[in-house]
Chains A and B, each alone.
Chain A
Amino acid sequence: MSGARPPPGHGELFLGFAKMGLSGFGGVLAFARQIMVEERKWLDDREFAEMLALGQILPGPNVVNLSVFVGARFRGPSGALASLGGILLPPVCVIALVALVYDAIGSHPLVQSAIGAVAMAAAGLIVAMGAKIVARLPWRWPLALVAAAAFAGVAVFGLKLVWIVLALAPVGVAIAWMQAE
Chain B
Amino acid sequence: MNPSDRLIDLAEVFAVLSLIAIGGANAVLPDMHRQVVEVHDWMSGQELARLFAVAQASPGPNMLVVALIGWHVAGPLGLLTATIAMCGPSSLLAYLAGHLRERLSGARLVRAAQAGMVPVAVGLVIASGVIMADAAFTQAGDLLIFVAAAVVATATRLNPLWILATAALVGLVMAFV
A: residues with CB less than 8 A from B are: 21-28, 50-51, 53-65, 68-69, 72-73, 77, 80, 84, 87-88, 90-92, 94-96, 98-99, 102, 106, 109-110, 112-135, 137, 143-144, 146-155, 158, 160-162, 164-165, 168-169, 171-177, 179-180
Contact = CB atoms under 8 A, between A and B. Distances in A.
Given A91-B61, A125-B163, A106 B50 contact: yes
A126 B121 CA distance: 12
Given A77-B95, A124-B149, A115 B117 contact: no
- List 4 tightest A-B contacts by C-beta distance, closest first: A60-B90, A91-B60, A117-B171, A150-B123
A148 B123 contact: yes
A120 B50 CA distance: 9
A26 B60 contact: no
Interface residues of B, number: 105
Contact of B59 (A21, A154, A179): A21
A120 B125 contact: no
A25 B171 contact: no
A60 B18 contact: yes
Contacts of A25: 57-59, 159-161
Contacts of A152: 123, 127
12 contacts: A56-B24, A57-B121, A84-B87, A91-B64, A99-B71, A117-B145, A117-B167, A124-B163, A128-B151, A150-B120, A154-B123, A165-B124
